[in-house]
A and B are shown apart, each in its own frame.
Chain A
Amino acid sequence: MKAVRPAPGHQDTNDDGSPPRMVAVVADGRTLHAPEGTFLLEVLRKAGIVIPTLCHHPAVEPAGACRLCLVEILRNGTPGELVTACLFPITDGLQVRTRSERVQAMRRNLLDLLLARCPDTPLIQQLAREYGLDQTSYPRNTEATDCILCGLCTRVCDRVGLSAISLVSHGTERKVAPPLKQPPPDCVGCLACAAICPTGTIQAEESNGTRTIWGKTFTMLSCKTCGRALITTAQAEYWSGRSRLPIAYFETCDTCKRASTAATMAALGALGNGR
């Protein structure tokens, strides 16, 4: 399905290939310039303005789930609604305040709720302290967890092209889970989900040449040169299939490949004096 205009946030070119219009945004009194339609968060962060986020990562589509990036729109100088910067496409003349009392209070309230869900999670405790909260003013959730349901793991898995895990159920029952709560058939054990998880909820175990994640155990592929096991066989097969590179390419680890390239270059004298 072809969109009629580039989606908000994608500001490289317009649909017809023309360069996007540059617009001016005023944030906390500073005038910033960026292409029209760029997401506000990106504009603010580029300008060095600190905005807290928990569900944002440049590698994946924004979701607007954690709501911490709320900023206040000013209309003719008077405070208007709160918007999530991660999803808000900028227009010319937009005026925002990123740290007004209302914004800070709202972030604090959100962290208060999050702290009730994740009372023992260091990242949340630390962020809450930054907003003056030592502990939640609500009863702790009966099933305290480290998972903040930011959905970064499922979005990165989509991005990898596997969608092995997803957000399941709805309402207060919502969880991240593999299909049918069984070891996910589409998972290749790449650890992208564990790597992107901001709270370290997703953990993998490695021992004796195997890796276990989401209840599924993978055999590791040992580097032919150094013998270290860095990726799973399933991962190598998946990347090989997607990239059309021979499986042999993945049988040597990146470090050894680089070392071998360096050695070749040295042998050819291409590196001059070298080390």
Chain B
Amino acid sequence: MVPVAQCDPAAETSVRLRVSGRDIRICCGTGCRANGAMDVADAFARAYDDRSTLQIHTKRTGCHGFCERGPLVMIEPDGILYTRVKAADVPEICTRTLERGEVVERLVYHHPADHRPIPLAKEIPFYARQTRIALRNIGRIDPTDIADALAHGAYAGMRTALTELTPTEVIDIIEHAGLRGRGGAGFSTAGKWRACRRAPGERKFVICNGDEGDPGAFKDRSILEGDPHAVIEGMIIGAYAVGAHEGFLYVRDEYPLAVRHLEAALAAAREAGFLGHDILGTGFALDLAIARGGGAFICGESSALMRSLEGRVGEPRAKYVHATERGLFDLPTVLNNVETWAHVGAILAAGPDAFAALGTGRSKGTKAFSLVGKVQNTGLIELPMGTTLREIIFDIGGGMRGDRPFKAVQTGGPSGGCLPASLLDLPVDYEQLTAAGSMMGSGGMIVMDDRTCMVDVARYFLRYLSEESCGKCLPCREGLRQMVGLFDRLVTGAGQTGDLERIEALAQTMQAASLCELGKSAANPVLSTLRYFREEYTAHLEARACPAGSCRALTTYHIRAQDCNGCHTCFTACPLGAIAGVKHKAHRIDADRCIGCGACFEACPRHAVGFGPKMVCAGQEA
């Protein structure tokens, strides 16, 4: 136990704990819930239901972002963040922090380098570097309480738009802010809105694309769970701007909590008169409905999503005619991503200049990312466009997990690519990522270390897409089928001369001839890994070896007897009982029973497990 002031090396930011009138904000996002956050919240609620004299208020909020350290508990207004809190820690927090004004040091974040405790969230590097616009209220409000959202500025932008501005003025503001789509290709939001406004017809639609399908991305889930009002507000403003009176929020069925919070928020917004007839007495009418996705990745594609809303299979359409002219039910439709909608209200409330002042040339404002993989601080972050990959991974992300070297970062999901260490100083914006052969996509950033095989990563995405393609058009369906076949050969050491050229030619055909963006971009993970990690492909093809020691058919494991102290950890970790040995004596792997899964390698605390290439004759493992 240390007094708060001593915890903080920077004297000017010393913490002054207030005696009463505090908010306890417990992160109850999906991540923290999985780690027991609801038990923590219940424990706080029990502790304070009869001690109201302290004016302590427990609040179950959305994702605070620092998922790696969850469950997270924030004490406001002091700004103290407790990490990895268990229900059993609650009495101590109550007694020491809330009643006596001390910091429970063992629960605060410790700097990984010098191990100094950092009790204040705003001083933890993970938070200090962020600028939160789309995520502005997440973790601060109780998402199921509209009064709390209103107290934090929700719906102020809507009020301005509907009562002070014409629809065209609203579009001008969004244009001036430079807002672009946060879900994929980065189209100009104002451009879409203007086209839809101009399209003839009385009946128009606004749609929120919450079918966040990119593996490794969860920012939309967190926004919908933690601040559904920001999305609803954005849609009201957008609908007003384009002249739509009906809208849909298409949310993945795999996001049950997001659906629940959104339902509650819509009901509350209707009750408050923000939806329905004559909104704010302006005569403008709008209602929004939730549609749950059916679990098809392709429905993240806008035209497929609209077919799904119509009750059909999610087959994309050719986009020679835009959705702003012929979208849902063939009527003019604006479809934006969750994060895009969440930005709108903030832009209207603060004015476009503040937003446009952030970012780079044509990529304005901030972008939310889910930072995951082999990085220390996994979680949800929001940064100005143009922040470099290095800052994201090493400053905010705290560097690599387990001190392994950085190898690549995958961005943009299955349509994106893998960027190597030589590009770590790349400023992240739409143009730079595209030029580097990747994509912004929906903001997934998956950090990979030297144990990740780039051929395997490309194969992973190909297999994923071969299942998730709708199967309608020939180059995507048959191209993916053949690609998977070629990669299956590579990872088993059965590659044939000319396979890399075959892969490249096939990639070009898929890019040029596929019907929709899924097919057109399906080869991106292949092309980017070939571009930056060609030698790894050559190793699989010519030496029939996997340098990362990841492809099972090409890798063997062994225990270095001199490094092994017989702690028995690998013995327990091995799923097949292929490790022999008694405690305190060097262990051994039975090569015949080993399936090369690598569990022992991951488990060994002394790094005594090594791997090497396995000799494979061509065709043997196919």
Direct contact of A and B (CB under 8 A): yes
Interface set of A (CB-CB < 8 Å, partner B)? 1, 3-5, 7-8, 63-67, 70, 81-84, 87-89, 106, 109-110, 113-114, 116-117, 137-139, 141, 148-149, 151, 167, 169-174
What would 14 more interface pairs be, CB under 8 Å, given A64-B318, A65-B472, A139-B482?
A4-B200, A65-B474, A84-B515, A87-B320, A89-B321, A110-B474, A114-B478, A137-B502, A138-B482, A138-B502, A141-B481, A170-B298, A171-B480, A172-B477
8 contacts between A and B (CB under 8 A): A4-B199, A7-B330, A82-B512, A89-B320, A109-B508, A137-B502, A138-B485, A170-B470
Q: How far in angstroms is the closest Cβ of chain B from A94? A: 11
A171 touches B513 (CB 8 A): no
Interface set of B (CB-CB < 8 Å, partner A)? 199-201, 296, 298, 313, 318, 320-321, 326, 329-332, 465-475, 477-482, 484-485, 502, 505-506, 508-509, 512-515
Q: Which residues of A contact B471 (CB under 8 A)?
A: 149, 167, 169-174
Q: Which residues of A contact B200 (CB under 8 A)?
A: 4-5
Tally of A-B Cβ pairs under 8 angstroms: 120
If the complex has contacts A67-B515, A82-B512, A149-B477, are A170 and B502 also in contact, measured as CB distance less than 8 A? no
A110 touches B475 (CB 8 A): yes
B321 touches A67 (CB 8 A): no
A8 touches B320 (CB 8 A): yes
Q: How far in angstroms is the closest Cβ of chain B from A151? A: 8
Q: Which residues of A contact B470 (CB under 8 A)?
A: 170-171, 174
How far does the alpha carbon of A176 sit from the alpha carbon of B320 in the complex, in Å? 27
Q: Which residues of A contact B475 (CB under 8 A)?
A: 67, 109-110, 113
How far does the alpha carbon of A171 sit from the alpha carbon of B479 in the complex, in Å? 11
B509 touches A66 (CB 8 A): no
Residue of A nearest to B296 (CB): A170
B480 touches A87 (CB 8 A): no
Partner of B330, one of A3, A169, A170: A3
Q: Which residues of A contact B508 (CB under 8 A)?
A: 109
How far does the alpha carbon of A114 sit from the alpha carbon of B480 in the complex, in Å? 12
Closest 4 CB pairs of A and B: A174-B471, A4-B201, A113-B478, A109-B509
Q: Which residues of B contact A149 (CB under 8 A)?
A: 471-472, 474, 477
Partner of B466, one of A65, A106, A169, A171: A171
A67 touches B473 (CB 8 A): yes
A170 touches B474 (CB 8 A): no
Q: Which residues of B contact A66 (CB under 8 A)?
A: 473-474
Q: Which residues of A contact B506 (CB under 8 A)?
A: 109
Q: Which residues of B contact A4 (CB under 8 A)?
A: 199-201, 331-332
Query: Chain A's interface: helix, strand, loop or mixed, by majority?
Result: loop
If the complex has contacts A4-B201, A172-B481, are A106 and B512 also in contact, measured as CB distance less than 8 A? yes
If the complex has contacts A3-B330, A83-B320, A110-B509, are A172 and B467 also in contact, measured as CB distance less than 8 A? yes
Residue of B nearest to A115 (CB): B478
Residue of B nearest to A138 (CB): B482
Residue of B nearest to A137 (CB): B502
Q: Which residues of B contact A84 (CB under 8 A)?
A: 318, 515
Q: Which residues of B contact A70 (CB under 8 A)?
A: 513
Q: Which residues of A contact B513 (CB under 8 A)?
A: 67, 70, 82, 106, 109-110
A106 touches B509 (CB 8 A): yes
How far does the alpha carbon of A110 sit from the alpha carbon of B509 in the complex, in Å? 8
B329 touches A1 (CB 8 A): yes
B485 touches A139 (CB 8 A): yes
Interface core residue of B320, B332, B508 (most chain A CB under 10 Å) = B320
How far does the alpha carbon of A52 sit from the alpha carbon of B513 in the complex, in Å? 15
B515 touches A64 (CB 8 A): yes
Q: Which residues of B contact A148 (CB under 8 A)?
A: 474
A171 touches B469 (CB 8 A): yes
Q: Which residues of A contact B512 (CB under 8 A)?
A: 81-82, 106
Q: Which residues of B contact A1 (CB under 8 A)?
A: 329-331
Q: Which residues of A contact B514 (CB under 8 A)?
A: 67
Residue of B nearest to A8 (CB): B321
Residue of B nearest to A109 (CB): B509
Q: Which residues of B contact A8 (CB under 8 A)?
A: 320-321
If the complex has contacts A109-B509, A137-B502, are A171 and B199 also in contact, measured as CB distance less than 8 A? no
How far does the alpha carbon of A89 sit from the alpha carbon of B326 in the complex, in Å? 13
Q: Which residues of B contact A139 (CB under 8 A)?
A: 482, 485
How far does the alpha carbon of A67 sit from the alpha carbon of B320 in the complex, in Å? 15
Q: Which residues of A contact B473 (CB under 8 A)?
A: 64-67
